[in-house]
Chains A and B, each alone.
Chain A
Amino acid sequence: MTTYFVEDTTVLLGRSMRHITRSLDTIITVTITPIALMLMFVYVFGGAIDTGSVPYVDYLLPGILLITIVMGTSYTAFRLFTDLQSGVFERFQSMPIARSSVLWAHVLTSVVSNLISVAIVVLVAMLMGFRSSASVLAWLAVAGILTLFTLAVTWIAVIAGLSAKTVDGVSAFSYPLVFLPFVSSAFVLTDTMPGPVRAFAEHQPVTSIVNTIRDLLAQQPVGSDIWVALAWCAGIMVVAYAAAMATYRRRIS
């Protein structure tokens, strides 16, 4: 049945993309919180935060983009949960299709819709004065890292969507993830943090990802950060994918 994987995934991707285009309010809901955070940090707290010669909006944008993606993936968990509740998931699973294409379609939809949300947030940041003279290649690298991050978080969202018992529980996974950027280099330099907090901040995934994106956009050398960032994204993705597949198999046994 794997011969149909690409065909089936494409058909199902088209289906869930229609869900996005027909309820554009979900994109607005996803972007409004990060945009509000960005406004607040730039125009309220930003003046008191010392980021050297870097304009604060340039400094915080990468972290805001990660928050945008985390919030977007909670809708993926919600859409998957809705499919399970409504019986649509079982309908697909009882049909002669490549079964994993049902999950992959949700994951790919998450990537596409999150890239749209990210583009909207970047546009708002530009209105607020964000500028980058990064090359096309650097932008592509940023898009690549964000895509990898989206895939990693989306597979966590799939676990949540498959295992949630109630609609309220579906997006619970995203709350701690939304807070991770606050204890990282996303909003302030880690130098000012007390020892243990600083140690955590400097060794959690968000810091390396944020630093890499910031350096790419500022045309600075990325150093070893990019490898740490890629390793985190790939590692989380592999573990979350395996756990999601195990959760899925438990559902059908």
Chain B
Amino acid sequence: MTTTHTSPAIRVQGIEKSYGDLHVLRGVDLDVAPGSIFALLGSNGAGKTTLVKILSTLLRADAGAASIEGFDIATQPADVRGSISLTGQFAAVDEVLTGRENLVLVARLRHLKGAGRIADELLARFQLTDAAGRRVATYSGGMRRRLDIAMSLIGNPPAIFLDEPTTGLDPQSRAEVWSCVKELAEQGTTVLLTTQYLDEAEHLADRIAILHEGRIIANGTLDELKRLLPPATVEYVEKQPTLEEIFLAVIEGAAE
């Protein structure tokens, strides 16, 4: 796959989508640079999932254009699917199969050689080796999500869509997913993630866009977005640990 690093890995221009009278997307524009993490923020029903589905060729847009790695989603959908991986809102794993079988299945569907070896490598990388032979129905929520993301990495697609990857996860699993996403971007994968957690976007994203009522109403780096607000006034507040920090400290203490 040859891409010039000047052109965006994901380009979205004027995408619109309606269901009857309900205008979910009213003209969305955004560019995602190769190898960067782009967070799409929005409340429930803002249209984040609809946009991700359009970009992964699961839905057709009513108007507008988009391209992934230079492939047009409308005219070259097969090439788009070859360049992306989608991790949907709910862990899309086969509960009847074991963790390893899920990975082998995806590797074989991507027509890769050595599906078993690929599966074993990913099991080790996502700390699932011990659970490899167990049916996914017995996995915890965090393990499912890890398996889900592992399945999306098979074949090293240049772009990955993560639709609310940490919704419903406990803080530990969330931290695991975060480090995995960062690692991906460091290796050059372009990541488009949607989230309703502001701290998630703050932690991970190179750029953040806010999708509201079907339009992007803000788009920039965290610093740029901060400048949209009136300058902060300095106040002295005693730093209290957040409950999350306490929770993680207690858990780590118990693990030792």
Residues of A within 8 A of B (CB): 1, 4, 7-8, 11-12, 15, 18-19, 22-23, 86-88, 90-97, 252-253
16 examples of A-B residue contacts, CB within 8 angstroms: A1-B78, A7-B111, A15-B97, A86-B92, A86-B93, A87-B88, A87-B89, A87-B90, A87-B91, A87-B92, A90-B58, A94-B56, A94-B84, A94-B86, A96-B81, A252-B60
The answer to whether B95 has its CB under 8 Å from any CB of chain A is yes
Q: Contact check, A253 vs B105: say whether CB atoms are below 8 A apart.
A: no
Q: Contact check, A95 vs B81: say whether CB atoms are below 8 A apart.
A: yes
Q: Which residue of A lies closest to B56 (CB)?
A: A94
Give CA–CA (A87, B90) in the complex, Å: 7
Q: Which residues of A contact B86 (CB under 8 A)?
A: 90-91, 94
Q: Which residues of B contact A18 (CB under 8 A)?
A: 96-97, 101
Whole-angstrom distance between the Cβ of B81 and the nearest chain A Cβ:
5
The answer to whether B206 has its CB under 8 Å from any CB of chain A is no
Q: Which residues of B contact A253 (CB under 8 A)?
A: 59-60
Q: Which residues of B contact A4 (CB under 8 A)?
A: 111
The answer to whether B117 has its CB under 8 Å from any CB of chain A is no
Q: Which of B101-140 contact A (CB under 8 A)?
A: 101, 105-106, 108-111, 135
The answer to whether B168 has its CB under 8 Å from any CB of chain A is no
Option from A22, A87, A92, A97 in Cβ contact (under 8 Å) with B96: A22
The answer to whether B31 has its CB under 8 Å from any CB of chain A is no
Give CA–CA (A96, B157) in the complex, Å: 11
Q: Contact check, B88 vs A97: say whether CB atoms are below 8 A apart.
A: no
Whole-angstrom distance between the Cβ of A104 and the nearest chain B Cβ:
14
Give CA–CA (A192, B53) in the complex, Å: 58
Give CA–CA (A87, B109) in the complex, Å: 16
Give CA–CA (A86, B108) in the complex, Å: 20
Q: Which residue of B lies closest to A23 (CB)?
A: B96
Q: Which residues of B contact A90 (CB under 8 A)?
A: 53, 56, 58, 86, 88, 92
Q: Which residues of A contact B89 (CB under 8 A)?
A: 87
The answer to whether B94 has its CB under 8 Å from any CB of chain A is yes
Q: Contact check, A15 vs B105: say whether CB atoms are below 8 A apart.
A: yes
Listed residue (A4, A91, A97) with the most chain B CB atoms within 10 angstroms of its CB:
A91
Q: Contact check, A92 vs B56: say whether CB atoms are below 8 A apart.
A: no
Q: Which residues of A contact B92 (CB under 8 A)?
A: 86-88, 90-91
A11 and B105 in contact (CB under 8 A), knowing A87-B91, A90-B88?
yes
Whole-angstrom distance between the Cβ of B28 and the nearest chain A Cβ:
18
Whole-angstrom distance between the Cβ of A165 and the nearest chain B Cβ:
15
Give CA–CA (A229, B140) in the complex, Å: 51
A94 and B60 in contact (CB under 8 A), knowing A11-B105, A18-B96, A86-B92?
no
